[in-house]
Structure 1
Amino acid sequence: MAFLTTLLKLTSNPLSPFLSNLLPAVLASYSVQLLFGIPSIATAKETFYDLAGGFSFLLTLSSSLFLPALRRDAPISLDDALSTWNWRQLALTGAAAVWTLRLSSYLFLRVLQKGHDSRFDVVKHQPRRFFIFWMMQALWALVCLTPIIAVNCIHPAAFKAGLGVPEVLPSDILGFGLFGAGLVIEVVADYQKGRWYGEKVRKVHDELFITRGLWGRCRFPNYSGEITVWTGIAIASAGVLSRGPIQASLGWHGTSGQLKAVILPGIAPAFVSWLLLRVSGVPLSERKYDKLYGNREDYQRWRRNTPLLVPKVF
């Protein structure tokens, strides 16, 4: 408890509830990556990379939900806490937690099954570059969760004053609907690829690359699902943060407040899209596949005729 008291004092900013909630999140995310990253870099092992990413997300989510209640001197029993949180705070935090648990466990089990992660075959032997990968993962967690960090620090009274009736907004329906759709796409895509790989190992087929199911509709349906997930969370968050009384409770005013309500949520899907399309997702995968299958006509035909992200409907 003494640690929590000290943490709250050191990160408290009376003029900005958002910054007061963001600073512990930064500490949580980077601490997890250093805890897992330092021994992993020293031993040139990538085994726990994705598991550490999951812990960063979960610890950041937990701190962003519970610490504002502690700052308000609210009782910390579960029943009392539930009575102070708005349903969106629980729904957004829960949605991100479900996505995190599913993806981090899937990736962790995959690296255990294969014995290595091809993303790190070279970089894990370069300590400085490998360190950057771990720090980027901490940043990834923070940027993705920034909209939720902002929503979770809203005072209960501001929700009552800012939402009115009906409490369910169009942005809630659209945002959570997109989240659900994106999660389904991502889960199905990963399941189909995992099943295909398992059949390949058992020599059920001799296909060199997957073109089945969603992978025949677009080249990276898993990335399409992930971008959709964070777009949904951004929309649901922005619908709340754009309300005047809620902005006032956060110390946001005028045009700058409206810009923050749009930009802060929008950073998450924009950053995820940039990572997947320009940095670690599509570029790494396509370089690998082009090297292996670039001289095959069937691969070139699949790549030429199959959209990158948006699945074909027909």
Structure 2
Amino acid sequence: MIFIAPLLPFVGASILWFFVPDICQIGWINGVGQLLLFTLVVCIPAWRTGRLSYVDIGWPLGLALIGLVTLSFAQGVSWRRMIIGMAYLFMGLRMGVGALRMWHAGHFKKEFPRYQYQRLRWERKGITNTQLMIQVEALVQGFANISFLAFPAFVIATNRSEQVHPLEILGLLLWLAAFVMESVADAQKLAFLREMKRQNQTRKVCNVGLWRYSRHPNYFAEWMVWNALIVAAIPAWLDHQGRSPLVTWVLLGIGTLYVSRIMYTTLVHYTGAKPAEYFSAQKRPDYQAYQQSTNMFFPGPSRVDQPRPQGKST
């Protein structure tokens, strides 16, 4: 049962597509495509190498696939289908192309720290069959793309209303702001790491720019990207009322809102902040002080003055 339980919520949410007439067809197409993609890109390589890191290729390419399915097969207003489809395509290719470059450079020859941390979790639970758990985790990611993570795209794309709702504008603006924040945070950290490498100070804590207000501003911004999609999906969900049974319509709304919880759990507990901090605290002497002075996820003012690294930091 311990191997099956993680899959159940995602499989259950995938079944919901069969009861939403406007989404059933694209749900089927996306489901088959995601299973094929994850089998070839994640499950087989992970089985051969014993490394779960291939999820970092399969998951974002799966988002791009959701975008392609939305653009090609969704039956809704064309401009709305175009915007949400391109948003998913952009998010997926941005991360997926970066992961493929890392694979080509040989970085996938070693398990990424966040997946090393997952093995520590399995050890604490007494799980010894890591090969099987790797396949389970890969399937969980695949079914997440089949189910919950596709909810905002498919709900928005099948909205039949020609009118633009204020929440759609708000969602788009939030999405753009969150993407800019994530890009700025990534750029600031990359510049910091390059400068510290130039100074031969590779174990310093990045506490410049946005990183002074959150220990993981990039993860927070990524979470807000998904919250923005949920906000934009609310009018579309309301538009679905009456076109599906009441229970199905309610579950569709719950599933869309639940995306926020899934991404928060992933970005904080599963493969995000906590695994990163586990290793940072071991190799960076100042990291514990940074943890005491700076919020982990939600941005906020520093609780004490933080020591800044010597030399130029940007």
Please classify the TM superposition score into its range, dividing by the shorter chain length.
Answer: 0.7 to 0.9
List per-residue Cα deviations over 1:81-128 (Å, max 9, x = no partner). xxx733222111111221222223334445655724223347799322
Residues 1:88 and 2:80 aligned together: yes
The answer to whether the Cα contact below 8 Å between 1:144 and 1:272 also exists between their aligned partners in 2 is no
Matched, 1:137 2:141: yes
The separation in 2 between residues aligned to 1:45 and 1:301, in whole angstroms, is 33
**1:148-192 residue CA offsets vs partner (Å, 9 max, x unmatched):** 1223244xxx324xxxxxx22110121111111111111111222
- For 1:231, give the aligned amino acid: N
Q: In structure 1, how many angstroms separate the alpha carbons of the residues matched to 2:262 and 2:256? A: 11
- SS of the residue corresponding to residue 161 of structure 2 reads helix
Q: 1:237 to 1:92 in 2, by over 3 A?
A: same
Q: Which position in structure 1 is the counterpart of 2:230?
A: 234
User: Is the alpha carbon distance of 1:184 and 1:39 closer, same or farther for their aligned partners in structure 2, counting shifts above 3 Å?
Assistant: same
After the TM superposition, which residues 138-217 of structure 1 pair with which residues of structure 2 at under 5 Å, given as runs? Answer: 138-142=142-146, 143-154=148-159, 158-160=160-162, 167-203=163-199, 205-217=201-213
8 Å contact 2:77–2:158 — kept in the other structure? no
Distance 1:41 1:258, change over 3 A: closer
Preserved contact between residue 146 and residue 264 of structure 1 (Cα < 8 Å): yes
Counterpart CA distance in 2 for 1:15 and 1:194 is 44
Alpha-carbon contact 1:46-1:120 (below 8 Å) kept: yes
Instruction: Within 5 Å, give how 1:1-314 maps onto structure 2.
Output: 16-37=21-42, 38-45=44-51, 48-69=54-75, 85-110=77-102, 115=107, 116=110, 117-121=112-116, 126-142=130-146, 143-154=148-159, 158-160=160-162, 167-203=163-199, 205-243=201-239, 246-248=240-242, 250-253=243-246, 256=247, 259-260=250-251, 262-293=253-284, 296=285, 298-312=286-300
- Separation in structure 2 between the aligned mates of residue 194 and residue 133 of structure 1, nearest angstrom: 29
RMSD: 3.0
TM-score by length of 1: 0.75
CA distance 1:189–1:107, change in 2 (3 Å)? farther
1:54–1:104 CA contact under 8 A, matched in 2:
yes
**Cα distance, 1:232 vs structure 2:** 0.4
In the alignment, residue 188 of structure 2 is paired with which amino acid? Answer: Q
Shift of 1:261: 5.5
Contact 1:238 1:261 (8 Å CA) reproduced: no
**Which residue type is aligned with residue 302 of structure 1?**
Y
- Contact 1:47/1:111 (8 A) holds in 2: no
Whether the 8 Å CA contact 1:189–1:215 is kept in 2: the answer is yes
| Contact in 2 for aligned 1:151/1:241 (Cα 8 Å) | yes
CA distance in 1: counterparts of 2:300 and 2:103, whole angstroms: 30
Question: For each residue in 1:193-230, what CA deviation from the matched residue of structure 2 results, as whole angstroms up to 9, or x when unmatched?
Answer: 22323333444544522111211110110110011000
Asked if the contact 1:48/1:108 (under 8 Å) is kept, the reply is no
CA distance change for structure 1 residues 53 and 210 in 2, over 3 Å: closer, same or farther? same
In 2, Cα distance between equivalents of 1:120 and 1:275: 12
Q: Provide the rounded CA distance (Å) in 2 between the counterparts of 1:56 and 1:144.
A: 10
Q: 1:261 to 1:128 in 2, by over 3 A?
A: closer
Q: Secondary structure at 2:299's aligned position in 1?
A: coil
Structure 2 residue runs without a partner (length 5+): 1-16, 120-128, 303-314
Aligned residues: 273
Q: Given that residues 77 and 161 in structure 2 are in contact (C-alpha distance below 8 angstroms), is that contact kept between their aligned partners in structure 1?
A: no
Q: Give the partner amino acid of 2:263.
A: V
8 Å CA contact 2:182, 2:219 repeated in 1? yes
CA distance in structure 2 between the aligned counterparts of 1:41 and 1:194, rounded to whole angstroms = 32
Task: Write the deviation string for residues 214-269 of structure 1: whole angstroms up to 9, x where unpaired.
Answer: 111101101100110000001101122213xx423x4244xx46634532321222
Contact 2:67 2:84 (8 Å CA) reproduced = no
CA contact (8 A) 1:123 1:129 kept: no
Q: In the alignment, residue 191 of structure 1 is paired with which amino acid? A: A
Asked if the contact 2:203/2:283 (under 8 Å) is kept, the reply is no
> C-alpha distance in 1, partners of 2:19/2:250?
21
The 3 A distance-change label for structure 1 pair 169 and 18 is same
Asked whether the 8 Å contact 2:66–2:88 carries over to 1, the reply is: no
